[in-house]
Structure 1
């Protein structure tokens, strides 16, 4: 009886070890680059890099250069005309089903951007050396925080990535604190894992 029990236990453990070995043959991709397909419509471009650091966690860096047509997406009513020129966003992602599978994800990101604010009073120095106020454009750097939610699809041996994402960011001005919510990191992203 002991020999039969030991033989069955040995057989089951060997079988489970074989199954475990098959799971490790799947390549583990640690890096991903992607870009938003919607931004070129608005004469803009972005590029994101993501590095997997744990089973469900990834960190990354994203940058965007915005064109003139991006103002068509501005839903904020403001006395001044604000235009974002570029934006750099470090990010952290949590994948619900893990980083090597199709999955829902949540994202937290920071933002540093350059903004042109037109239609405001700007102090300039004239030829005589006097400070004069005139209506013009002020350029400044602003920081912010944001969050996002999305779903990632994997194709072609889990190398091709298609993501649908919605992200919302709030800026904090360097002159004073104001809440300026904007949709960023929103759209359909296509990328490659390696």
Structure 2
């Protein structure tokens, strides 16, 4: 009887020690991820995320867009607009907590370098007169966006698989109209540490 009681106590003690070790080791606060869909278009994306609270995370993402992605860009009736690169700082809220599989909502800013071609540009000639010609213009533009997704955790919650859709609008200084585009959209794989 005493021997059985000691075995039961040892069993419960070992369970509590294992449970404490698992809860400490699963607090992973950093994540690096990349989009699996963008390489199909000759583009590359990398994101870093830092968990700052149980359900909150902040991070920054960067994307270099290739020629295949540029062919998907929207065309206006007067000129072509191509985004070359984009930097996106973001804030996320996880509905089930950051250490579990969860839906998330993301709000992000955007700073991108845009090239417009086929538009009329004003140049000043040597005599000081304004002359218009068709050409291209590069400039930086900022914007805001929102995203929604779901994050799956695998292999001791260290490997991440995310599905996300995001919509961003750029604030164009030349016109009042907003330019919207899908960004931070796709299937991402990452590693938590």
Shorter chain as denominator, the TM-score bin is 0.7 to 0.9
Correspondence for 2:62: 63
Secondary structure class of the residue paired with 1:28:
coil
Q: TM-score, normalised by structure 2?
A: 0.85
The CA distance in 2 between the partners of 1:156 and 1:77, in whole Å, is: 46
Instruction: Please report how far the alpha carbon of residue 133 of structure 1 lies from its aligned counterpart in structure 2 after TM superposition.
Output: 1.1
Correspondence for 1:177: 176
Contact kept? 1:171, 1:178, Cα under 8 Å: no
| Per-residue deviation, residues 60-92 of structure 1 (Å, max 9, x unmatched) | 000111112113333565432000011111100
Describe how 1:140-179 pairs up with structure 2 within 5 A: 140-179=139-178
| Per-residue deviation, residues 137-184 of structure 1 (Å, max 9, x unmatched) | 111111111000000011111111110001000110122332111000
The CA distance in 2 between the partners of 1:152 and 1:108, in whole Å, is: 16
Describe how 1:20-169 pairs up with structure 2 within 5 A: 21=20, 24-75=23-74, 77-126=76-125, 130-169=129-168
The CA distance in 1 between the partners of 2:127 and 2:65, in whole Å, is: 37
Secondary structure class of the residue paired with 1:123:
strand
The CA distance in 2 between the partners of 1:80 and 1:59, in whole Å, is: 36
> Structure 2: which 5+ runs fail to align?
1-11
Contact kept? 2:73, 2:81, Cα under 8 Å: no
Report how many residues are paired.
181
RMSD: 2.3
> Structure 1: which 5+ runs fail to align?
1-13
Q: TM-score, normalised by structure 1?
A: 0.84
